[in-house]
Structure 1
Amino acid sequence: MYSDLMSYNILLAIYLRPVAAQYLAPLPEEYSGVAAVLIEDNLAVIPGNWSYESNMVPFYNVTSDDEDFQDAADTIAAADFIALSPDFLSLIGPSATLDRIVNFTSPEVELVHEAPAYVPDTNELLFSTTTAIGRLWALNLDTLELRNLTLDPPLSNINGATYHNGTVYVCTNGGDVRGIFSVNFTTGATAPIVNNYRGRRLNSPNDVIFDSPGNMWFTDPAYGWYSEFEGVGEPELPQSIYFFNMTSKALQVVSNDVVHVPNGLAFSPDETKLYVADSANLQGRPLGDTDPMGLRNVVAFDVEQYPLLSNPTLVHQTEVGWPDGLRISSSGLIVVGVRGAADVVDPRTGTLLGKFNCPDDIIYNVERIAETGTWFLIGGKHIYRVAIAETSPPLAGS
């Protein structure tokens, strides 16, 4: 978290540069202790000659020969919270904080961290190192101590996870047979829930959630194949979104032609909408750089005739990187992990309200403590704890 002095310096920089202030609006007085900025006019015009280094840098890393604009961009880069709309300030509140609670060191910092699941029984945050075999960690949120769960039998390359009715469910995207598994977070015992679609191997289950009736939904892109994970053969199925009936054990494809590379997914609070991230700009074997012209969207589906999906609607395109894991707030806002931040989007209008800023990091996934304003951002370099006014809804089926 930036100190109060840093917050003061950010505001001082704005007020002492009258020309740069055309890009940054003053914050309300009650936000004086928050390391936040409020951008004027969404930076619709960048003055002078400007450029950026690569498709993997956020918008504030644009380099301009206009000194006042560059000063504003540097101020934006230093903030914890970037407001593109005054409404963003209301949702974070005047006591908002962003803390780094885990700092990864080499070689762990070079790896991908995924699969966050908050376990209320133990007040732990589970997460994985998906680019390594068999690593599932538990972070004690009281002491911030880490323990490595010994899984029996071991699971390969865990990528997505969710807590539901006393059990953690995880996705594996490595090994000869991929699927959804249950994990006993106390003993480490694992058991398969589903590992095939009518005799065909699943590609690389990526993220998993439950609905209020107690049924499971998950995405199945081909990232295990793209990433050349051990044991993963050529894909046998389209990249799809699945519905799994936990009673009948029937696995049903609900979409495979709208979202090209399905990634994170989440329901609206009333479960009438399903939001799915499409990271189609990050695919191919071997997995390389993102395609600047590739799709990097969040798509909303209507859930009208359960469990069928209809009326796909584009609600967000990231400016950089790709959309990854996502969660929904109590008022229906999307919080989605992207390069350098978590974007906060109002899906009713498709408006990007603001960002939880994590410069020089990649946010792979997002988790929350239900019915509180505590959110977790899972990055390559750090795990962040965000405390804001906006809460998250109750767990499905609770």
Structure 2
Amino acid sequence: MNLSASLLASFWGGSVLSCFDFLGTQQRSIRVPDIAPGPIDEDAFLNKVPPAFEHLSVSFIKDNLAVIPGEWDAGDIKTPFYGVRSDQVPFQNVLAKIKSTDFIVWDASFFDIIGPQAKLEKIQSFEGETPHVHEAPAYVPETNELFYADTSVTGWLWAINVDTYEVRKVATNPPLANVNGARYHNGRVYATTNGGSVRAIFSINPLDGSATPVEFKHVVYRPFLWLVSHPELPNSIYFLDMKSKALVTVSNSVVTTPNGLAFSPNGSILYVADSNSTAGRPLEHHPASVRNVWAFDVSGSILSNPRLICATESGWPDGLQVTRNGYLAVAALGGVDIVDPKSGKLIGKVNTPGDIIFNLELGPRRGGQRMWLLTGRDFIYKALVKDV
């Protein structure tokens, strides 16, 4: 790449087309010097943080990092933007600083979402253990616990108190395998399984782990009212009528590998993550695979008007949530991306460098803040944000 190679400014702001999709495997290797201690030329790449936020661990990106100086290498699909390797030491130092912060701001509107009292902390660690997928988070207000699953185990779920961080294992009866989607509703945790001899939706009592089947089908339920097909069937999105138990295929041609789902605040729009970039092995050898979030208009069980909202800049989109004002939260490699679905712009990131966030849950509101709970490969996180 030539000196001061220029990228479209909209790329870092959440544009659907990512230049890194192509650069990752086509660029030649370069020699990048070790990051040198000393002053960082922040003004060229970072904006000043508003005074009310100066005490936070936050970086405010300038001009969407539209220009990357020097000779540089984008890495592969598992390389976040701050993993870019440049031969310009000052730029490398700036990237190192960005990587170290808890919140990354691309657009000033993200400050309104997190608020000046924002905080991110690790509340459970799996460091040093065999990497596992931690999925299906569901906050249970009666016990003040986050329930979630280790998809590699059978017969129990994790439960962690979100204030004291006391952890317990909840045995499920019958033993459930590969729980990978969950929602709390009226005192019950509705969980889906796609492992073992039977795939089903279960209603779980969070106090004793007793589980009652809601629906046994040849499909996999992830999460409430959305189902993904058995491997022998086309990848599809399903609608389950909870009264009649009728199952309807609502889409099987737009989203190639459907994963996470979330509704807009008024329920008129369905967002679906397409994790197609997880289909290739090894992942880094498939840079052209899609990693999109789609939107559909919803009318009863009918989906229409599919449109592409955004593409994650690395990894793949997994679990989804929507804030009160309609911002889209996307669990992804290295954290949670916050996207404005009206424009597709990436406006900020809850940053978890080195980790993979598989899903997130919107927890309780307290004292003008909302608790976001993130299930990662290496840690479980709690973020306190304003959540407008």
CA distance in structure 2 between the aligned counterparts of 1:374 and 1:219, rounded to whole angstroms: 27
Shift of 1:192: 1.4
Query: Alignment partner for residue 226 of structure 2, among 205, 218, 228?
Result: 218
For 1:396, the equivalent position in structure 2 comes to: none
For 2:387, the equivalent position in structure 1 comes to: 390
- What is the identity, as a one-letter code, of the residue corresponding to 2:264? S
Query: Gapped runs of 5+ residues in structure 2?
Result: 1-37
CA distance in structure 1 between the aligned counterparts of 2:306 and 2:322, rounded to whole angstroms: 18
CA distance in structure 2 between the aligned counterparts of 1:386 and 1:262, rounded to whole angstroms: 27
For 1:352, the equivalent position in structure 2 comes to: 346
CA distance in structure 2 between the aligned counterparts of 1:73 and 1:106, rounded to whole angstroms: 26
For 2:68, the equivalent position in structure 1 comes to: 46
- What is the identity, as a one-letter code, of the residue corresponding to 1:160? G
Kindly indicate whether the alpha-carbon contact (under 8 Å) linking 1:219 and 1:262 is maintained by their aligned counterparts in 2: no
* Matched ranges for 1:1-398 at <5 A: 17=40, 19-107=41-129, 109-196=130-217, 201-202=218-219, 204-205=220-221, 207-209=222-224, 217-220=225-228, 235-283=231-279, 288-289=282-283, 291-303=286-298, 305-371=299-365, 372-391=369-388
CA distance in structure 1 between the aligned counterparts of 2:206 and 2:128, rounded to whole angstroms: 27
Shift of 1:194: 1.5
RMSD: 1.8
- What is the identity, as a one-letter code, of the residue corresponding to 2:239? F
Name the count of aligned residue pairs.
Answer: 348
Kindly indicate whether the alpha-carbon contact (under 8 Å) linking 1:242 and 1:255 is maintained by their aligned counterparts in 2: yes
CA distance in structure 2 between the aligned counterparts of 1:320 and 1:77, rounded to whole angstroms: 14
CA distance in structure 2 between the aligned counterparts of 1:93 and 1:141, rounded to whole angstroms: 20
Displaced runs of 4+ in structure 1, greater than 6 A?
A: none
Kindly indicate whether the alpha-carbon contact (under 8 Å) linking 2:76 and 2:287 is maintained by their aligned counterparts in 1: no
CA distance in structure 1 between the aligned counterparts of 2:233 and 2:205, rounded to whole angstroms: 29
CA distance in structure 2 between the aligned counterparts of 1:142 and 1:77, rounded to whole angstroms: 27
Kindly indicate whether the alpha-carbon contact (under 8 Å) linking 1:181 and 1:193 is maintained by their aligned counterparts in 2: yes
Shift of 1:121: 0.9
- What is the identity, as a one-letter code, of the residue corresponding to 2:138? A
CA distance in structure 2 between the aligned counterparts of 1:172 and 1:114, rounded to whole angstroms: 11
CA distance in structure 1 between the aligned counterparts of 2:282 and 2:156, rounded to whole angstroms: 24
What TM-score comes out, normalization by structure 1 length? 0.84
SS of 1:111's partner is coil
Kindly indicate whether the alpha-carbon contact (under 8 Å) linking 1:364 and 1:379 is maintained by their aligned counterparts in 2: yes
Query: Gapped runs of 5+ residues in structure 1?
Result: 1-14, 210-216, 223-234, 392-398
SS of 1:281's partner is helix
Kindly indicate whether the alpha-carbon contact (under 8 Å) linking 2:318 and 2:358 is maintained by their aligned counterparts in 1: yes
For 1:231, the equivalent position in structure 2 comes to: none
Report Cα offsets for 1:305-345 as digits up to 9, x if no partner.
31200001111100111000011100000111100110000
Shift of 1:370: 4.9
Kindly indicate whether the alpha-carbon contact (under 8 Å) linking 2:155 and 2:174 is maintained by their aligned counterparts in 1: no
CA distance in structure 2 between the aligned counterparts of 1:35 and 1:219, rounded to whole angstroms: 38
CA distance in structure 1 between the aligned counterparts of 2:115 and 2:46, rounded to whole angstroms: 19
CA distance in structure 2 between the aligned counterparts of 1:166 and 1:129, rounded to whole angstroms: 22
Shift of 1:219: 3.3
Report Cα offsets for 1:256-288 as digits up to 9, x if no partner.
11111110001000001000100011126xx64
Shift of 1:92: 0.8
- What is the identity, as a one-letter code, of the residue corresponding to 2:319? G
Shift of 1:221: 5.3
Kindly indicate whether the alpha-carbon contact (under 8 Å) linking 2:127 and 2:379 is maintained by their aligned counterparts in 1: no
Shift of 1:105: 3.7
CA distance in structure 2 between the aligned counterparts of 1:335 and 1:114, rounded to whole angstroms: 16
CA distance in structure 2 between the aligned counterparts of 1:105 and 1:60, rounded to whole angstroms: 22
CA distance in structure 1 between the aligned counterparts of 2:175 and 2:67, rounded to whole angstroms: 53
CA distance in structure 2 between the aligned counterparts of 1:288 and 1:264, rounded to whole angstroms: 22
Shift of 1:302: 0.5
